[in-house]
């Protein structure tokens, strides 16, 4: 009888595991599957098991292709199965081609005269998945906010980052989903960050690869009204709920295209942008709408200096600015009183109310 041995976490059993077991069993007559114990998973991967080991044992034991199941408890990194392996002395240890502990496992095979066989990660007949992708999908929200920024925009782009500067922004509702997107596309509200989150990704690296900043995925993931430190990566300085902004914000769609990547290298007044960020930071800490209006006014002043068209005035508005990188898309209007905001919304089809959004964790 030719004995085959495989090992892994098998934290959430899926079709890829089943196919691997079948391909391993085809190498011999008797298949032993070893999975890492809950304790090993915690100590070696620093996370709790997604499926308790008694459930995992029952599931794998009932697979027709599997002849024996053991639980690995060895504390040697990458070789939690070692005690069982030395006892069983299998003829073959089968691994996948991406196994990160190959040298250790080869050495163990040499010690007992076992063959070390690498199996290709052949995809099953349907969409391939991994345990990490399953966990990511479980954690992925069904809806996400978009965002508006008040001051300090562009200082989240690593090459423009300034020590001691701030980026201030706010997650907003109504929310969006993969099937329901109630806003114009590519319009300056951080839609790419929301789309990334809704697809189970972080989004920061993808935004940076485009040559733009990290503020969109950072605030959309964090939610609330946030003050971030300027730098290469998002570092949260201060966060609060948006109670002081309820009833005060609206969007106006400009009917012009928005293109942040295409405008990254424009000449702009970074000193003024930094000043707007500092004013916005104080406004958020104080919960002061009028001070926040001054930050928005300074931000729009910087946008006009860059060459953007002046936005339409609105009765009762403290200030307005293009969202995101500007040059079209949506513009944010901040109002002193909710009544003025509501009148602004009622006057134009391109105007809509928004509210701050924060998740309860």
Dihedrals φ, ψ of 7, to 5°? -145, 160
Closest CA to 298 of 270, 339, 265, 331: 270
3 state DSSP class of 286: helix
Quote the tokens at residue 20.
């691997």
Report pLDDT for 82: 95
Which option is the CATH number for 141-356: 3.30.230.120, 1.10.3720.10, 3.40.640.10, 3.30.70.20?
A: 3.30.230.120
Give the DSSP H/E element, type plus range, for residue 194: helix 191-198
Give the domain ranges of the chain.
Answer: 3-137, 141-356
Distance CA 212, CA 214 (A): 7
Report pLDDT for 361: 64
Give the DSSP H/E element, type plus range, for residue 335: strand 330-335
Looking at the DSSP assignment, which residues form a beta bridge with residue 229?
166, 235
Distance CA 235, CA 116 (A): 45
Cβ proximity of 81 and 109 under 8 Å: no
Report pLDDT for 123: 66
Q: Which residues of the chain have pLDDT under 50?
A: none
Report pLDDT for 204: 73
Q: Could you check whether 3-137 and 141-356 share the same CATH topology?
A: no
Distance CA 170, CA 151 (A): 11
Report pLDDT for 186: 84
Report pLDDT for 124: 62
**What angle separates helix 191-198 from helix 215-222, to the nearest 10 degrees?**
50
Report pLDDT for 202: 74
Distance CA 95, CA 119 (A): 6
Topology (CATH level 3) of domain 3-137: Rossmann fold (3.40.50)
Residue with the two structure tokens 């099953």: 124
């Amino acid at each position: 009888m030719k004995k085959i041995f495989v090992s892994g976490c098998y934290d959430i059993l899926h079709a890829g595991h089943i196919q691997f077991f079948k391909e391993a069993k085809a190498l011999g007559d008797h298949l032993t599957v070893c999975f890492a114990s809950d304790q090993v998973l915690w100590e070696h991967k620093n996370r709790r098991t997604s499926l308790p080991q008694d459930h995992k044992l029952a599931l794998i034991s009932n697979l027709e292709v599997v002849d024996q199941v053991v639980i690995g408890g060895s504390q040697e990194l990458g070789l939690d199965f070692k005690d069982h392996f030395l006892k069983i002395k299998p003829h073959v240890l089968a691994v996948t081609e991406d196994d990160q502990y190959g040298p250790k496992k080869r050495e163990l095979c040499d010690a007992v005269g076992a063959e070390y066989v690498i199996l290709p990660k052949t995809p099953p007949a349907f969409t391939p998945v991994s345990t990490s992708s399953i966990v990511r999908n479980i954690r992925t929200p069904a809806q996400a906010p978009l965002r508006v920024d008040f001051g300090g925009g562009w200082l989240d782009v690593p090459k423009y980052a300034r020590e001691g500067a701030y980026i201030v922004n706010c997650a907003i509702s109504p929310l969006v989903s993969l099937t329901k997107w109630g806003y114009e596309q590519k319009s300056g509200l951080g839609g790419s960050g929301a789309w990334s989150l809704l697809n189970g990704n972080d989004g920061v690296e993808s935004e940076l690869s485009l040559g733009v900043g990290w503020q969109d995925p950072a605030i959309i993931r964090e939610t609330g009204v946030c003050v971030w430190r300027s730098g290469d990566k998002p570092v949260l300085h201060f966060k609060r709920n948006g109670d002081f902004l309820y009833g005060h914000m609206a969007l106006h769609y400009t009917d012009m295209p928005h293109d942040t990547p295409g405008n990254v290298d424009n000449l702009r007044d970074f000193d003024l942008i930094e000043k707007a960020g500092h004013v916005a930071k104080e406004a958020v800490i104080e919960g002061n709408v009028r001070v926040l209006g001054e930050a928005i006014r300074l931000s729009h002043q910087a946008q006009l200096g860059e060459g953007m068209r002046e936005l339409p005035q609105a009765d009762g508005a403290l200030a307005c600015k293009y969202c995101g990188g500007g040059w079209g898309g949506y513009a944010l209007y901040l109002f002193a009183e909710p009544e003025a905001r509501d009148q602004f919304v009622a006057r134009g089809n391109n105007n809509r109310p928004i509210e701050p959004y924060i998740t309860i964790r």
